[in-house]
Structure 1
Amino acid sequence: MHPQPPSRSFNQVCIDPSALHENFSKMQQRVGRDIRIMAMVKADAYGHGMIRSAVCFAGAGCDCFGVAEIEEGLELRQAGIQGQIFVLLGFQPSQEQLFFEYDLTPVVFTYQALELLSQAAVMNGKEMAFHLKIDCGMGRLGIMPSELEEFLARLKEFPKLSLAGIMSHFPMADDAQSTHTLAMYQQYKKVCMQSSQQPPALCHIANSGAALYFPKTSCDMVRLGISLYGYYPDGAKGAQLARDEKLVPAMSFTTQVVQIKSVPAATGISYGHTFVTEKETKIAVLPVGYADGFLRSLSNKAQVLIKGMRARIIGRICMNLCMADISEIPGVETGDPVVILGSQGAETITADEIAEWMGTISYEVLCLFGNNNDRNYN
């Protein structure tokens, strides 16, 4: 009888629940206790695990969650998550009944959605409150401000529906110097005034960038994503702009050394020999690659932490393997832990730094690592 293989992968993403709790509390203090926070837990909470993250935020006082698709809302309810759950990307025909069965709040931006929700509301004998998405400058989902008057007039054609909120989204709030954000906010305020009713609709447009850098745009509620996971929307410089809000990164990503070897000068490393050693070089082979979210674009750019020191990735990153130069790091052994994201000793590699190597943003790094590897919570 063969022994059971170990259940853990070489590669482990670790999430710190206390960091999630702390970030929510700090952001609530930032925006004020009278401003509601919608915790964005879409995309499996930016790779941090939707259910566990929602539980952490709820423990910190959160009573409102945002997801992309209706299936995510069902998962939250089935896991026992209370509070209001917004479905931001709309829904497919035949899914409208699920909003009633699972007490979910739809975000609407088409007449088809109104018709389907109204029919379901009549069938269920229940009123359905929805939030309307306005496109005030994102060029993405939402009706145009010029279409609002007609929309409000036609809303009367759809029984048992009530407009509970008006929402939009800033495209440039991650830039603290942006004049576009405040100009767009003024347009949004006009839209909210145009839709005034009794009771007034809930207004929300601010994301993490707006909450941190444009606090006067918070309205009734803010929709926070990246800040709750410990990062600033504009990268490392955001910490200086945010001043007193020291967010705590909640994710770390580690692997381990599976082989150590020394190769002579003029040795080509990995596919295509994009790196050739100039001298005898000591190499650590690591069991992580682009299938694990450590993308090929990081080849010959990224660094990892071994023995508390930085080691450069050399050669092309493979599907499940990559190589690090450990020539200047003494005492490395097979099985030693390797930090891809996080801290070891006095050194730290952040998602912002990795994003800079990749030419992207921290959001993508967190989603790649968190959604492609085993996750555990310490």
Structure 2
Amino acid sequence: MTTSASAAGWVEIDESAIAHNVVTIRAELGEKVEFCAVVKADAYGHGIDLVVPLLIAEGIALIGVASNDDAAAVRAAGFSGRLMRVRPAGRDEIDDGIRLDVEEWIGGVEHARIVSAIAAARGVRVRAHLSLNSTRLGRDGIDLGEDGGADAVAAVLADPWVDVVGLCAHFPCEDVTDVTDGTARFDDETREVLAGRHAGARIARHCATTFAALTVPESRFDLVRIGAGLYGDSDTVGGALRPAMRVVSRIAAINVYPAGSTVGYDRWHRLDHDARLAVIPLGYADGFHRSLSGTGEVLVRGRRAPIVDRIAMNSFLVDVSSIPRAAPGDEVVLFGRQGDEVISPADVARSHGQIAADLYVAWGRLLPRRPVAAGG
């Protein structure tokens, strides 16, 4: 979506920040590790149409997607390189993914049979990445420690309709010790899989996403899958990555209410002082979850203002009593920088109680979105 003058709120995407993040991460990884740029969920809400041309310009040759809609959008943006799905797909998705040349993520023994059957029916050999449960995520990988696990993996590798180009895993925790332990198991198990008849096979090993790749170098193996880091949602690399998203609205109205008044649905908050409250014309319909009620903050005139009521479908209130010059029409930043202050992913995570991506992916897909120049 593009913005209009009448929008109640919008998302600004700093394209230069994304380009900077790609260059910064590649420099950290070195030239021997392949960089898979993950653009699932419409590039984490940042817009495939905006992000993919930047990746092409930076020479990225492998892009990670989840849905076929995202895969089609990547192709429409002009990308002709490799596409890797980063989760198991359903039967119809796999079938439709063939036209987009998507490399599938095989999530188990039965799933491998589905991929093989579809490939045979279409008369094409499907490239795929076979997931192992080496990191103990317990989600979609074959567990080599279970009876029959090694035989199941061998059967997939021998399937004439499945071209296994990768052995993969995913970490359950952003914790250095956990990642280090999982990396060691993945290394041992994939070496075992690739021994013997598969020795020398051109099969990439990969398990690292942004946190692992940038904090535990031994987790990088042949390629890394970089998602959050592309968009600056990471404090790795010494804080050198730059957040690319800013969420903006404007104050719709301001009213003064006396101490003792209640505000918001369910009389959510009782004022302990005479207060100037500003109406922000966004709400949970726009992705501003009720978890931010009474916990989140916004920026007005470069200063923090707390959310004081229970967030409604299309509005919420912030206390601007300490910002006397605040007025209707003033810019409000709900995520990102304004002046010297910033509402960071870490701020949102603390207020929300979950990772910031749980919210900003929705903001980027629900609100109008536009590219801006650096600092714009």
TM-score by length of structure 2 reads 0.90
Q: 1:111/1:333 Cα in 2 relative to 1: closer, same or farther (>3 Å)?
A: same
Q: Is the 8 A contact 1:20 1:228 kept in 2?
A: yes
Question: Which residue pairs with 1:40 in the alignment?
Answer: 38
Q: Does 1:11 align with 2:9?
A: yes
Q: Which of 1 and 2 has higher RCO (CA within 8 Å, sep 6+)?
A: 2
Which AA in structure 2 matches 1:35? V
Cα offset, 1:99, TM superposition? 3.6
Distance in 2, matches of 1:153 and 1:260, equals 67
Distance in 2, matches of 1:114 and 1:39, equals 25
Distance in 1, matches of 2:188 and 2:259, equals 68
Q: Please state whether the residue corresponding to 2:307 is helix, strand or coil.
A: strand
Q: Is the 8 A contact 2:233 2:243 kept in 1?
A: yes
Counterpart pick for 1:336 among 323, 327, 330: 330
What pairs up with 1:316-355 in 2 under 5 angstroms?
316-355=310-349
What pairs up with 1:275-290 in 2 under 5 angstroms?
275-290=269-284
Q: Please state whether the residue corresponding to 2:129 is helix, strand or coil.
A: strand
Counterpart pick for 2:362 among 352, 364, 368: 368
Question: Which residue pairs with 1:54 in the alignment?
Answer: 52
Which AA in structure 2 matches 1:318? A
Distance in 1, matches of 2:267 and 2:122, equals 65
Q: Please state whether the residue corresponding to 1:33 is helix, strand or coil.
A: coil
Q: 1:123/1:360 Cα in 2 relative to 1: closer, same or farther (>3 Å)?
A: closer
Which AA in structure 2 matches 1:349? I
Cα offset, 1:157, TM superposition? 6.5
Question: Which residue pairs with 1:264 in the alignment?
Answer: 258
Q: 1:190/1:292 Cα in 2 relative to 1: closer, same or farther (>3 Å)?
A: same
Q: Does 1:159 align with 2:160?
A: yes
Distance in 2, matches of 1:152 and 1:312, equals 53
Distance in 1, matches of 2:229 and 2:158, equals 40
Distance in 1, matches of 2:339 and 2:223, equals 40
Q: Is the 8 A contact 1:351 1:365 kept in 2?
A: no
Please tell me the root mean square deviation across aligned C-alpha atoms, in Å: 2.1
Q: Please state whether the residue corresponding to 1:332 is helix, strand or coil.
A: coil
Which AA in structure 2 matches 1:155? V
What pairs up with 1:119-138 in 2 under 5 angstroms?
119-122=117-120, 124-136=122-134, 137-138=136-137
Q: 1:297/1:115 Cα in 2 relative to 1: closer, same or farther (>3 Å)?
A: closer
Q: Does 1:217 align with 2:219?
A: yes
Which AA in structure 1 matches 2:102? L
Q: 1:333/1:148 Cα in 2 relative to 1: closer, same or farther (>3 Å)?
A: same
Which AA in structure 2 matches 1:22? H
Distance in 2, matches of 1:51 and 1:125, equals 32
Question: Which residue pairs with 2:169 in the alignment?
Answer: 168
> What is the CA deviation profile of residues 2-23 of structure 1, one whole-angstrom value per residue up to 9, with x for unaligned ones?
xxxx564111111111111111
What pairs up with 1:15-164 in 2 under 5 angstroms?
15-122=13-120, 124-136=122-134, 137-146=136-145, 147-155=148-156, 158-164=159-165
Cα offset, 1:91, TM superposition? 2.6
> What is the CA deviation profile of residues 276-318 of structure 1, one whole-angstrom value per residue up to 9, with x for unaligned ones?
2233221211101122122212122222111111112212121
Distance in 1, matches of 2:260 and 2:114, equals 67
Q: Is the 8 A contact 1:313 1:325 kept in 2?
A: yes
Distance in 2, matches of 1:202 and 1:325, equals 53
Question: Which residue pairs with 1:3 in the alignment?
Answer: none
Distance in 2, matches of 1:312 and 1:19, equals 28
Q: Is the 8 A contact 1:17 1:250 kept in 2?
A: yes
Distance in 1, matches of 2:215 and 2:53, equals 27
Counterpart pick for 2:186 among 185, 188, 191: 188
Distance in 2, matches of 1:192 and 1:171, equals 18
Q: Is the 8 A contact 2:142 2:153 kept in 1?
A: no
Q: 1:149/1:265 Cα in 2 relative to 1: closer, same or farther (>3 Å)?
A: closer
Count of paired positions:
363
Unpaired stretches in structure 2, ≥5 consecutive residues: none
Cα offset, 1:227, TM superposition? 1.0
More off after superposition, 7-16 vs 155-164 = 155-164
What pairs up with 1:225-244 in 2 under 5 angstroms?
225-232=227-234, 238-239=235-236, 242-243=237-238
Cα offset, 1:156, TM superposition? 6.8
Distance in 2, matches of 1:94 and 1:64, equals 23
> What is the CA deviation profile of residues 79-103 of structure 1, one whole-angstrom value per residue up to 9, with x for unaligned ones?
3322111122223334444343221
Q: 1:334/1:31 Cα in 2 relative to 1: closer, same or farther (>3 Å)?
A: same
Counterpart pick for 1:356 among 350, 359, 367: 350
Distance in 2, matches of 1:88 and 1:112, equals 18
Distance in 1, matches of 2:86 and 2:73, equals 15
Question: Which residue pairs with 2:244 in the alignment?
Answer: 250
Fraction of identical pairs, as percent = 29
Q: Please state whether the residue corresponding to 2:166 is helix, strand or coil.
A: strand
Which AA in structure 2 matches 1:36? E
Counterpart pick for 2:205 among 191, 195, 203: 203
More off after superposition, 6-15 vs 17-26 = 6-15
Cα offset, 1:165, TM superposition? 0.9
Question: Which residue pairs with 2:287 in the alignment?
Answer: 293
Which AA in structure 2 matches 1:187? R
